[in-house]
Structure 1
């Protein structure tokens, strides 16, 4: 008698980094805008969200009655092909079976390991183009969290002797926030460690020019001390 083996049931996966996408295994799932916003809201919150709070957040310009109706409509649309939202008393939560890339990225940002693939995750924006206030608060948090993580990652790569990926992580931080001095300082130090004083000086001068143009400020003594010997020799 031949035993039948059941194929594993694929988990729904929700992508919030670099844009919204929902899929079940390899099959994409079409989601209307209102339902997209509901899934994103629930995915970004750590616990259940009261229905009234969800409705007011997602449809702030509508009356409470109209917002509640829009919420019910979005929930009905999400009922198929797989239940993505569960009710907890008078609150809503994302089904625990839904795999969310942003939640994995947050864990990575909290404890970045010396993994080259981590740089690609940490340089990715959260829901680019979304301008709702509840999204922007999370976008701001993610931006700061990944900047710190990229700098930590760069230092860990440097300590492992992997200057190539150390440069990539520091450069990703600079590209995310061009005015972040600590990221520029890391790049300057890496160029010096690689025996590239000219590149270190160009990095410093580029940052100094940008800082003057944008904020009318000078770089701090911390980064200036790194290239002070180069400035002396250039005279």
Structure 2
């Protein structure tokens, strides 16, 4: 039995809030153009639809609502990873799908979604970079590369994500790929922002791209001596 669109909005609203929310706040956010009485009635009707679901989706406690913790939600997975200590072990043999997905609730234009979307983007970026470093330390360069590439896709101008890729190419014994990645980022940031890469990333490949002295022409020297 699919969740109807109105109930989807309520469930998404509760999922995006780490703490229980009051019924009044939920009604006000989800039905902003309605009177308080009408918004409360809409909330009650929507809750009734969710309560009929085969599995528990919403929990109530007094005047507050929360998404049921038995529900599997990508946002919660990302949030949990973001709060783990940096030296924590890798989450498993695969990258959690919520980190590799696209934008949060694409196509939704509600104000409360827009506010959470940028938060989720920043959390994803930091978590992807953190996981990339964990995988690299664990010796899994494939997943380290996969998570770093995902971070670049989320924000193509993020230097720390490009720097992670350069470091991974060097660790994998591919200096040409490291230089190619650096040149790609340098061209992008110059074109889009008019800036040069920082010394933190430039220094990684400086010894590989430093200009070498041009070979001296023997014939030219011979002519100059005559």
For the superposition of Structure 1 and Structure 2, which TM-score range results when normalised by the shorter chain?
0.7 to 0.9
| 2:94 equivalent in structure 1 | 117
Give the number of the structure whose residues are more often strand, by fraction.
1
* TM-score, normalised relative to structure 2: 0.81
Q: CA offsets, 1:173-194, max 9 Å, x none? A: 1111111101101111111222
| 1:31 equivalent in structure 2 | 3
Out of 60, 69, 81, which is 1:108 matched to?
81
Distance in 1, matches of 2:203 and 2:5, equals 52
Are residues 153 and 91 of structure 1, via their aligned partners in 2, closer, same or farther at CA, if it must alter by over 3 Å?
Answer: closer
Q: Secondary structure at the match of 1:222?
A: helix
Pick the structure with greater CA Rg: 2
Q: Secondary structure at the match of 1:130?
A: coil
Out of 82, 92, 101, which is 2:65 matched to?
92
CA root-mean-square deviation: 2.2
Out of 36, 42, 50, which is 1:70 matched to?
42
1:128-143 matches, cutoff 5 A: 128-143=106-121
Distance in 1, matches of 2:153 and 2:72, equals 28
Q: Which moved more, 1:172-181 or 1:62-71?
A: 62-71
Unaligned runs of 5+ residues in structure 1 are 1-28
Out of 137, 140, 143, which is 1:159 matched to?
137
Higher relative contact order (CA 8 A, sep 6+): 1
Q: Which moved more, 1:62-71 or 1:108-117?
A: 108-117
Unaligned runs of 5+ residues in structure 2 are 214-226
Q: Is the 8 A contact 2:77 2:96 kept in 1?
A: no
